[in-house]
């Protein structure tokens, strides 16, 4: 794997921290402060879906072979979650460009889309890593999660007086993945046919 490819993978993870975690946190607090229910609703849906991204990080720490597949699925689902809802899209279109909260939210949605596509492109360049993440050629994909591993390990040791190991991370990741999958299936079977692309956002709460 050449240096340029390693740098692009590293940069992809750095951008994901900023635009998939940092900016949504800022928008969440901003929407609460402005009492803007449409952005708050969009972000609440986004955070539920983005749990899969954090699960994929645990699986990367545990060097689960298909963790890169989960990472790509998570970013794709996050992108879908910010564009899927007709009522939210209609409401956002009604805001003037001078309303900075919704304008920033619109820009952020496009950025999430870009990062998701970029993840797919980067992953396809290292196609073998989809099934064998712990091979020598795929170690670069595990490096970004190493700092998270150290932080969780220190917190785990502080609160529980025990070591947080890679097998534990893998177990927790797979357990969380099974619960997430069941929840997604339940939503697909029960709520999606009932509500369709309606997020149940009420325009009466517009600010």
- Nearest alpha carbon to residue 31 among 46, 48, 18, 16: 46
Q: How far is C-alpha 15 from the geometric centre of its chain's CA atoms?
A: 12
pLDDT tens figures, 103-146: 999 999 999 999 999 888 888 888 888 888 888 778 778 777 77
Which segments of the chain have a pLDDT < 50?
A: 204-205, 207
The predicted pLDDT at position 136 comes to 79
* Domain edges within the chain: 3-205
The predicted pLDDT at position 204 comes to 45
The predicted pLDDT at position 207 comes to 46
Residue 196 region, left (φ>0) first, then alpha (ψ -120 to 50), else beta? left
Q: CA 43, CA 3: separation in Å to the nearest integer?
A: 36
Alpha helices per DSSP H over 3-36: 3-16, 23-34
């Amino acid at each position: 794997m050449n240096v340029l490819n390693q740098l692009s993978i590293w940069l992809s993870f750095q951008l994901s921290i900023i635009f998939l975690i940092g900016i949504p946190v800022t928008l969440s607090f901003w929407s609460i402060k402005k009492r803007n229910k449409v952005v708050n609703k969009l972000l609440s849906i986004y955070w539920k879906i983005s749990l899969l991204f954090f699960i994929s990080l645990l699986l990367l720490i545990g060097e689960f072979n298909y963790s890169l597949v989960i990472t790509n699925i998570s970013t794709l689902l996050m992108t879908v979650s910010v564009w899927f809802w007709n009522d939210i899209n209609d409401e956002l279109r009604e805001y003037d460009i001078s309303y900075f909260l919704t304008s920033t939210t619109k820009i952020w949605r496009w950025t999430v889309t870009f990062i998701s596509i970029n993840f797919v492109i980067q992953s396809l360049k290292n196609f073998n890593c989809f099934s064998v993440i712990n091979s020598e050629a795929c170690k670069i994909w595990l490096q970004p999660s190493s700092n998270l591993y150290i932080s969780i390990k220190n917190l785990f040791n502080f609160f529980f007086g025990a070591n947080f190991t890679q097998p534990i991370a893998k177990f927790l990741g797979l357990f969380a993945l099974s619960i997430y999958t069941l929840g997604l299936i339940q939503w697909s079977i029960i709520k999606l046919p009932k509500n369709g692309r309606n997020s149940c956002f009420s325009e009466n709460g517009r600010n």
